[in-house]
């Protein structure tokens, strides 16, 4: 058996973001149609997601080497070539995101952002977003379809990870847990360049300020509440 070495790829903040986002999206998924306490959980999870997105935006410019957005843009030729490799179930392993994975990650981030922002600006009974009343808008008709598209994209993402892991013989979920990938000892791959502590502090502070600020805003009355008030009079 040939000797291997461990190459550090994903830094801890990137992995924390990835798995935290997954948990919060699942929580939002299962509380989206519920009332009472579940609606509050839905709102808080959405606001926490906004904080995570703020963190990821900053981390995309100042984070570890493979977490930076500069590694996310692959030319169309590389994307097409990677798709052809996947069709043959034989893809070359990569350290960071592969060409198709980079595109999928960007699409997922944009979809999550769209769902979260439209949620803050939606009015739907107990699930009224804190910014809906302030800006006097209701994007509920965009929020719900956008979440359906996100659900479909999540399924595509999971299938893509499974197929790529098999085709490249690279366990991608494990790498996102441990932060490292195995490579032949003779491989020239090096550990990813780490991020600065300044970038981590700035991203964390911005995320907490945004998420905390949204969570501390008063829960505006929803349409149902207004209806009940009028009925009382």
Highest mean pLDDT among 24-28, 38-42, 167-171, 214-218: 24-28
Q: What is the DSSP letter of 69?
A: G
User: Each residue of 180-206: pLDDT tens digit?
Assistant: 999 888 888 899 999 989 999 999 999
Degrees (nearest 5) of the Cα angle 134, 140, 142? 115
Residue 126: pLDDT band (50, 70, 90) is low
Domain that holds residue 90: 4-232
**In this structure, what CATH number is given to the domain that contains residue 45?**
1.20.950.20
Q: Picking from 25-29, 80-84, 154-158, 171-175, which range would have the lowest pLDDT averaged per residue?
A: 80-84
Residue 71: pLDDT band (50, 70, 90) is confident
Number of domains the chain contains: 1
Q: Tell whether the model's pLDDT for residue 98 goes beyond 80.
A: yes
User: Each residue of 36-55: pLDDT tens digit?
Assistant: 788 889 999 999 999 999 99
Which pLDDT score, from 0 to 100, does residue 147 have?
95
Q: Read out DSSP for 177-230?
A: HHSEEEEETT----PPPPPPHHHHHHHHHHHHHHHHHHHHS-----HHHHHHHH
Q: Tell whether the model's pLDDT for residue 104 goes beyond 70.
A: yes
Flag whether the pTM goes above 0.85: yes
- Tokens 């980079």 locate to 102
């Amino acid at each position: 058996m040939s000797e291997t070495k461990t190459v550090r790829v994903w830094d801890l903040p990137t992995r924390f973001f990835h798995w935290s986002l997954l948990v919060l999206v699942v929580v939002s998924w299962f509380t989206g149609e519920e009332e009472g306490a579940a609606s509050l959980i839905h709102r808080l999870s959405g606001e926490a997601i906004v904080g995570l997105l703020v963190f990821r935006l900053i981390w995309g410019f100042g984070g570890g080497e493979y977490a930076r957005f500069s590694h996310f843009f692959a030319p169309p030729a590389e994307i097409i070539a990677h798709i052809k490799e996947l069709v043959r179930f034989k893809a070359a392993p990569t350290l960071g995101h592969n060409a198709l994975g980079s595109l999928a990650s960007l699409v997922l981030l944009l979809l999550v952002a769209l769902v979260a922002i439209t949620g803050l600006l939606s009015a739907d009974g107990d699930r009224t977003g804190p910014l809906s009343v302030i800006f006097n808008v209701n994007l509920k008709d965009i929020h719900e379809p956008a979440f359906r598209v996100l659900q479909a994209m999540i399924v595509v993402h999971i299938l893509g990870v499974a197929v790529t892991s098999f085709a490249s013989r690279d366990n991608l979920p494990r790498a996102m847990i441990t932060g490292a990938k195995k490579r032949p000892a003779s491989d020239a791959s090096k550990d990813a360049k780490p991020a600065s502590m300044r970038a981590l502090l700035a991203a964390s502070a911005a995320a907490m300020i945004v998420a905390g600020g949204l969570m501390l805003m008063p829960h505006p009355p929803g349409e149902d509440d207004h209806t009940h008030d009028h009925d009382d009079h």
